[in-house]
Amino acid sequence: MAQNRARVQPVVAGGKGRSVSIERNPSILGMRTKSELVDYVDSLFAQEGSAQQLGVDAAKLRALIERVSRHYKQNPYHNFHHAADTVNTIGWMITRPVLRVKLPVYRRFLLMLTALIHDIEHPGHNNQWEVQTQSPLAKKYDNEAVLEKHSYKVTVEILADPAYDLFLPFGKKKAQAWLRIIEQLVLATDFALHQQFMDEFRAYLANHSHDFSDPDFLGWIERALLKAADIANTSKPFPEAMVWGRRVMMEFWSQGVLEKKHNFPVGPLNDPETVKLNAAQAGFIRFAAMELFELLSEVEPGLEEMVENLRTNLELYEEKARRGDGLFE
């Protein structure tokens, strides 16, 4: 799909004068092994370029990616494919014409890193399940943003190991500030707060200019970018969006089966008997995804093609829902 393969001028990645670009829709789901995915994520960091510009130890970064890959579980959706996909998408987004110039290099690197770790050790069911079952993690993290706090905690522990401590050469003060940024980014991916985030983000943009030197503006844009990258599979070309959509519904439905078995309230998207893929995906695009991408594309017009894909996919899902198409039609 040529229109989805916009080329970008690199910052410095790939050596002097070499033009590299992050492909918008690589076939990540076609990558079968973890080592293939590790190679791929490593290449994304190289293509995006911020790690190299900052002087991050390339061997340590590679080791970290491999270590992180081992902490992702084999869930239908929240697995290392999703992590690699999120790194690809954030890398593509932050190398669009405005963002690649306006975002500070270290913030770009932190976005790439957070995309990599944001769902580490995700158990394949959501926070509500952790809280309902009063799991050890729910108790540990006071029933709030349980999985996001856990992913952050695991990341901090890995980065504390000298074999993976990418921040060591930058000094303690910077390392602590960078960890705080990562924490805020990971916590922003808690979907329970999505509507609240959207209300506040919309109001913020309506009342502030696009001033990338303002730390508040930078924080809002970065949280929105990571949230968008996290759900950007809905903005892929339709056949691929459907594959990701099936995967996420599989994970929800398997939680729904458990919820019924344990007589817990069944989550709104989790009942395989009543929730249909096409209607659920259309509803997700219409009510959760669309406005986030629209607002971001006002800041970075280079993201407009994601909005266009979302509009197309919404129409196609709604058409399929009207026809009553099944999961694999």
Total of residues contacting Zn ion (CB under 5 A) = 2
- The smaller minimum CB distance to Zn ion, of residues 138 and 231, is found at 231
Rounded to whole angstroms, the Cα distance separating 52 from 62 reads 12
Rounded to whole angstroms, the Cα distance separating 324 from 185 reads 38
- The smaller minimum CB distance to Zn ion, of residues 20 and 113, is found at 113
Tell me how far, at minimum, the Cβ of 121 lies from Zn ion, in Å.
Answer: 12
Tell me how far, at minimum, the Cβ of 271 lies from Zn ion, in Å.
Answer: 22
Interface with Zn ion by CB under 5 A: which range of 17-25, 147-155, 158-166, 222-230? 222-230
Considering only residues 127 to 146 of the shown chain, the ones binding Zn ion according to CB under 5 A are none
The binder of Zn ion chosen from 119, 183, 222, 300 (CB under 5 A): 119
| Coarse DSSP helix, strand, coil percentages of the chain, rounded to the nearest 5 percent | 70, 0, 30
Interface with Zn ion by CB under 5 A: which range of 1-9, 159-167, 223-231, 234-242? 223-231
Tell me how far, at minimum, the Cβ of 141 lies from Zn ion, in Å.
Answer: 17
Tell me how far, at minimum, the Cβ of 172 lies from Zn ion, in Å.
Answer: 30
Say which DSSP state 133 is in.
Answer: T
| Site membership for Zn ion, residue 251 (CB under 5 A) | no
Rounded to whole angstroms, the Cα distance separating 281 from 301 reads 25
Interface with Zn ion by CB under 5 A: which range of 135-143, 210-218, 225-233, 292-300? 225-233
- The smaller minimum CB distance to Zn ion, of residues 10 and 245, is found at 245
Tell me how far, at minimum, the Cβ of 226 lies from Zn ion, in Å.
Answer: 9
Structure tokens at 34: 């973890």
Tell me how far, at minimum, the Cβ of 101 lies from Zn ion, in Å.
Answer: 27
- List C-alpha distances in Å: 140 to 68, 89, 100, 149: 22, 32, 39, 10
- The smaller minimum CB distance to Zn ion, of residues 119 and 183, is found at 119
Tell me how far, at minimum, the Cβ of 115 lies from Zn ion, in Å.
Answer: 9
Confirm if 11 and 53 have CB atoms less than 8 A apart. yes
| Site membership for Zn ion, residue 230 (CB under 5 A) | yes
- List C-alpha distances in Å: 146 to 83, 150, 152, 160: 18, 6, 10, 21
Cβ neighbours for 319, distance < 8 A, ≥ 6 positions apart: none
Cβ neighbours for 13, distance < 8 A, ≥ 6 positions apart: 20, 46, 47, 48, 49, 52
Q: Which residues bind Zn ion (CB under 5 A)?
A: 119, 230
